[in-house]
Chain A
């Protein structure tokens, strides 16, 4: 099936061309703009996202306005034994906007705050499930169409507790989401409808340190509470090591635990070589695994089984005086454990897939 390139990608390419051909004004400090376009696709799923950020720093404060347009394009396919549902192509767009501000209280303390909102599905799995329940229950008492949307607000502070060498950051986040829920048929009664409003409260603490003249470290810890789910705790350590004047090694290790029994871990390693801090070429390997969200395999559930992923990414970037451009991409492999027999209707959603990823970013400092 031929998929037309969405308008926002054309707009993105035009804006990118504008950045590249914009006139140079080396002597004037001013705002910065960044455009990022990313695609992730396999045979039946195409995901695209374009993000445009504008940064302005009047006086000592800093304001960042961000707009995101993303598209989820899937070929929905029901289970082979499903004689009710039909294959169908679904295309869903998502629009999001966000404003963040940093205020310099003094040399060592930077309070910050931000807020944003979006309209549209946040991920392809929820589009697939929305189509599954729509085809199965549309018109049945208890079924209601939902248009997903959400908002978030956050505030925090950044404190240089060892000026120039160590930073502590605390962020508090509130988030509200309206999601497309699942349904369960009942005998002699309307459908039992799942939760469609979610509220999330999160706290994140991070500390960034210059450990040695060649090593910079970032440790991030978080706790997240979402309506109807157990507490989620996360811990991530990122380490950047300048192996030599031109070689940089980056490592990231992360772990997540969500009550009662969900666990996930990921690790990545990147090696990058630069030429006079102008050209950068790198290669990254990343692996991820979790133990799935299925609580009882004997009961029907649309939750994901255990997942393992692996990606390899090659990157090339150029850093100029005003313009910085990065291009990266590579294969991404996702492998699920077998779906339980009781939930076989979701086997097409949780198929093993081989994806291709491409990301292009350009920043222009005016």
Chain B
């Protein structure tokens, strides 16, 4: 439920159009959400330890193959 509320709020917020000429600050390289390159933030190896990391699934989240 919290996710639906947050998602709806964010979609509605997106409807407030910020004109491109006012986007100088949010276009700086460290303000953009990159998925590659030198401005990707966050460790990759910690996910081996934190099985509840948000993007974990599959084998990486199933180390306890013998869990009972």
The answer to whether A and B belong to the same complex is yes
**Residues of A in contact with B (beta carbons under 8 Å apart):** 32, 34, 36, 38-40, 47, 49, 51, 53, 55, 64, 122-126, 129, 133, 148, 150, 152, 161-162, 164-166, 168, 173, 175, 177, 179-184, 194-196, 198, 200, 202, 205, 207-222, 224, 226, 228-229, 232-238, 240, 242, 245, 248, 250, 252, 254-256, 258, 262-266, 268, 270, 272, 274, 277, 280, 284, 288, 290, 293-296, 299-304, 307, 309, 311, 313, 317, 319, 324-326, 332, 334, 357, 359, 361-363
Would you list which residues of chain B between 1 and 55 have a CB under 8 Å from chain A? 2-3, 6-7, 10-11, 13-20, 22-26, 28-33, 36-55
> Once the chains bind, are A242 and B28 in contact (CB under 8 Å)?
yes
A122-B59, A212-B18 known; A40 and B33 CB under 8 Å? no
A38-B44, A245-B25, A248-B28 known; A295 and B68 CB under 8 Å? yes
> Once the chains bind, are A124 and B62 in contact (CB under 8 Å)?
no
- The residue from A202, A237, A268, A362 contacting B38, defined by CB atoms under 8 A apart: A362
**Residues of B in contact with A (beta carbons under 8 Å apart):** 2-3, 6-7, 10-11, 13-20, 22-26, 28-33, 36-68
Give the distance in Å from the alpha carbon of A299 to the alpha carbon of B67 in the complex: 10
Chain B residues lying within 8 Å of A237, measured Cβ to Cβ, are 6
Give the distance in Å from the alpha carbon of A219 to the alpha carbon of B19 in the complex: 21
Q: Considering the complex of A and B, which 9 residue pairs feature the smallest CB-CB distances, nearest first?
A: A182-B66, A264-B52, A166-B14, A177-B59, A324-B38, A123-B48, A242-B25, A224-B57, A200-B58
Chain B residues lying within 8 Å of A302, measured Cβ to Cβ, are 64, 66-67
> Once the chains bind, are B14 and A162 in contact (CB under 8 Å)?
yes
Chain A residues lying within 8 Å of B20, measured Cβ to Cβ, are 164
> Once the chains bind, are B38 and A40 in contact (CB under 8 Å)?
no
Chain B residues lying within 8 Å of A357, measured Cβ to Cβ, are 43, 45-46
A262-B52, A290-B50, A307-B50 known; A202 and B57 CB under 8 Å? yes
> Once the chains bind, are B65 and A219 in contact (CB under 8 Å)?
no
Chain A residues lying within 8 Å of B57, measured Cβ to Cβ, are 173, 175, 200, 202, 224, 226, 232
Interface residues of B, dominant DSSP: loop
Give B50's nearest chain A residue, CB to CB.
A288
> Once the chains bind, are B30 and A280 in contact (CB under 8 Å)?
yes
Give A215's nearest chain B residue, CB to CB.
B26
> Once the chains bind, are B61 and A209 in contact (CB under 8 Å)?
no
Give the distance in Å from the alpha carbon of A263 to the alpha carbon of B18 in the complex: 37
Chain B residues lying within 8 Å of A309, measured Cβ to Cβ, are 46, 49-50
Q: Quick one: which of B16, B29, B58, B61 has the most chain A CB within 10 A?
A: B58
Give the distance in Å from the alpha carbon of A264 to the alpha carbon of B59 in the complex: 18
Show 14 A/B contacts (Cβ-Cβ < 8 Å), sorted by A.
A40-B45, A123-B59, A161-B14, A179-B62, A211-B16, A213-B22, A215-B26, A224-B57, A236-B54, A240-B30, A290-B50, A309-B46, A319-B38, A324-B39
Chain A residues lying within 8 Å of B52, measured Cβ to Cβ, are 256, 258, 262-266, 288, 290
Chain B residues lying within 8 Å of A234, measured Cβ to Cβ, are 54-55
Q: Nearest Cβ distance between residue A145 and chain B, in whole angstroms?
A: 14
> Once the chains bind, are A219 and B7 in contact (CB under 8 Å)?
yes
Give the distance in Å from the alpha carbon of A103 to the alpha carbon of B48 in the complex: 32
